[in-house]
Amino acid sequence: MTSGQPGTGNARPTPTGADAESRPATPTVAGTPTQPARISAKAPAENTADQPRTGDGATTEAAPNGTPEADPATSGPAKDAARRGDKRGTTAKKSTTTKQDGTAKQDGTAKQDGTAKQVAAKGETAASDSTATGTDAAKDSDPAKDSGTVDGATKDSAATKGSGTVDGAVKDGDGEPTKDGEPAKDAKVADGKDAKAADGEAKPVGPERWEAFASAPEPRPSIFTRAGRAVGRFLIHEWTLAALGALALAVLMTWPTLRYPRYTLPQDYWDPSLQSWQMAWSGHILLADPARLWQANTFFPELWSFAFSDTLLGYAPAGMLGSGPEDAVLRYNIMFVLAHALATFGAYALARQLGAGRIGAAVAGVSYTYAPWLLAQAGHLHVLSNGGIPLALAMLARGHGWSLRHGYRPERRHDGWVYAGWLVAAWQLSLGFGIGLPFAYFLAGAVLITAVLFYARRLRTGQAVPFGRRLFAADVLGGVLFAGVGLLMAVPFFKVTELHPYAERTIGDISLFSPPATGFVTAPGESRIWGGLHEGARAALPWHPEMTLLPGFVLYALAAGGLFFSVWRLRHRLLLLSGVLVTMAFAMGTRFFDGTFTYVPLFEHLPGWSGLRTPGRLMLWTTLLLGLLAAGAVTALTDRVRELTAQRIPSWPGPWLRMATLLPLLLVTVEGLNTTPHPVVPTQPAAMRSAQGPLLVLPSNQSLDQHVMLWSTDGFPDVVNGGSGFTPRQLDDVRRVSQSFPDQTSVDYLRTLGVRTVVLLRGQVVGTPWEISIDAPVESLGISRQDVGDAVVYRL
């Protein structure tokens, strides 16, 4: 039974039972105009796209040609009642209509997500309880089909209760009765075009009319387009720009190092020749015979000779490329420039991680790398190769989620950065103990202090501070790796100390290289800005190459300003200032109250510290701490300028104010300009190319032997010559006995050592005993003599 709703023109079902309790009563609105069941055939065609709704929300539809569509729900008695205008009406429900013109679907339409909702809204007849899914929804519930089409538009109707029924049989879409859910035998499909319509399957919905006005979908980018975009994002990333900027600045600030990179060396050609040989030897022997790494081809027949000085072992991969003296010089110059670039990038990364802005971090990077005092170390690549120190600290701080500005942030922890930090630290240690040993002790102290503070905070607050097992495992494994590399590197040096006890430093040796306080304001002669002005001050220093320790007057000023105006907290500024003063005191060696409370305890009690002969190189830590103080001040300045620029109306002074923030960076860079000489490397004698080892090259001394080491990179024959931080006594004996070469005593002695060839350089014999004996006959000695180029070759 259905109860008519007066004034609506549509019939509403009368809820019964549980349905009646769950549905709220629909109030009857008086005065609601009565809607006809049909639209006049004279309705304009243009209104079919968007028909008005009836009083209860039902939408009347029209065929695409403007002819009103027959209501599929009104068949039989319901249809007659609609024609008579009977206000009672019957329950009429419009079901899902598949229209070729893409008009909107009515309530109760089988959704594309495969779920057909039960029709229970006002003005709608209760539909079948079965649920239709997918495109077979109509088929599963056996809905009635419209028997015909109007201008090709197929109408689908749902089964209606109490309308068009004959003895309980529900009429299908063409008006034929069906019983027990089976269609009548004579069911027809209009024009026979849609055979599946009779089986209860709806036709697929055609393209929507308004799709033509929609924006075209974006084409899927190809793999090359995506790769290009990824490369573009990488190239404009901050760290990419920082690395490229550091490299470009290194090339400019070290110029003309790369002007003639195969023939010149920066500063001088003594220590750089030694270090060129070190890189070449490590790369060569690791490919040929790694077990002989520490038994180098120089200082023959000494053992562990590769550990006579810092080894630059971390550069061994570069030593695997190329061969011969020219390639060794080229390799050294490239690594010389890259060492400057890495130092700038590492200090920049550390300042950024601690919370400095980009310009402030750039000031820290440039001041750390191009401090005037480092210009005197241009011939010591193992001192200039310090970029791994700030880079490792930056990575470790990043992995632990800690910064100076924001403190400990557990959510930023990442064990991958911790592993990377320990790897970089181990690599830095492999370059040498000259600056690597203080770094190792600093890391050990930092780990100890951090652990104490961590547990003290936990006891004070009573709360477990987040740390995590993964981070703890990364620290343990990384620390073990770092310690393992340190021990493996230390074993050969302990062997050398055991075989040559006189090689160990004494307090007297340290005193010779300990700078006075005036060294902190004295620049080396290689400084373009201050070199000439400080000539008199350098003359007053006992050994000025290791005592001119000026980090830069601009850096001093910026750091002093950072004590009062900075983004760092006050306690952090005071901590940085304390670090500056303490490291300065240690850098003075025995000049600070005789080192009783500073350097001497370290020298006497810390393993390996006695091998460090130049305390002034601890100025590296002073420079880094001053750079961080300066970065805090410059960052505060840039932040303030940004605020002022945003507040100014009009904003035209903004660019000028922002350009002013670059002034500290410009001044620090200018103060780092240098006049470093680049002498031409002595050419390898032709006799060295064909001489068979073991051989001795005369004259032999500390300076000339470093050239011989470089020349020996052509095939790496065993040579008696060698230069290092100390001279073995056996080499002293060889030099003393060879003063009378060629004579029977020297020949017999060299044969005892295993020497087979002696090369005497004519260009170096002026003022030496060989100036007279170089052309003496040797037939009576049982040796042969041959002139090869500008040298005389003796075969023993």
Q: What is the pLDDT of residues 632-680, one digit of tens each?
A: 999 999 999 888 877 766 666 667 777 888 999 999 999 999 999 999 9
- Tell me the C-alpha distance between 238 and 175, whole Å: 75
Cα 565–Cα 567–Cα 568 angle in degrees, nearest 5: 100
Residue 316 has which token pair?
Answer: 């061994």
Residue 209 has what pLDDT?
A: 66
Residue 222 has what pLDDT?
A: 87
- Tell me the C-alpha distance between 293 and 296, whole Å: 7
38, 150 Cβ separation under 8 angstroms: no
Residue 560 has what pLDDT?
A: 97
* Closest by CA position to 553, among listed 586, 530, 573, 570: 530
Residue 453 has what pLDDT?
A: 87
Cα 271–Cα 273–Cα 274 angle in degrees, nearest 5: 65
- Give the strand order in the sheet containing 791-795: 695-698, 757-761, 791-795, 784-788
Question: In the chain, which residues have pLDDT < 70?
Answer: 1-212, 214, 648-654
Angstrom CA distances, 262 to 258, 308, 682, 708, stand at 9, 26, 12, 17
Burial 380-403 (b: 16+ CB within 10 A, else e): bbbbbbbbbbbbbbbbbbbbbbbb
**Angle, nearest 10°, between helix axes 619-647 and 570-587?**
150
Q: Which amino acid does the sequence have at 615?
A: P
- Tell me the C-alpha distance between 702 and 724, whole Å: 8
Burial class (CB in 10 A: 0-12, 13-18, 19+), 736: exposed
256 cis-preceded (ω within 30 degrees of 0):
yes
517, 484 Cβ separation under 8 angstroms: no
124, 108 Cβ separation under 8 angstroms: yes
Distance from the Cα of residue 784 to its chain's centroid = 62
- Tell me the C-alpha distance between 6 and 148, whole Å: 31
How do 11-13 and 2-4 pair as beta strands?
Answer: antiparallel
How do 757-761 and 695-698 pair as beta strands?
Answer: parallel
- Tell me the C-alpha distance between 56 and 186, whole Å: 37
* Closest by CA position to 377, among listed 611, 616, 583: 616
Burial 478-501 (b: 16+ CB within 10 A, else e): bbeebbebbeebbebbeebbeebe
- Tell me the C-alpha distance between 542 and 515, whole Å: 8
Residue 771 has what pLDDT?
A: 87
Which residue(s) pair with 179 in the sheet?
182
**Angle, nearest 10°, between helix axes 415-430 and 388-399?**
160
Tell me: the pLDDT tens digits for 189-248? 334 444 444 444 455 555 566 666 767 777 888 888 888 888 888 889 999 999 999 999
- Tell me the C-alpha distance between 627 and 404, whole Å: 14
- Tell me the C-alpha distance between 553 and 550, whole Å: 8
* Closest by CA position to 351, among listed 632, 560, 76, 561: 632
Residue 685 has what pLDDT?
A: 92
Cα 617–Cα 620–Cα 626 angle in degrees, nearest 5: 140
Burial 42-65 (b: 16+ CB within 10 A, else e): ebeeeebeebeebbbebbbbbbbe
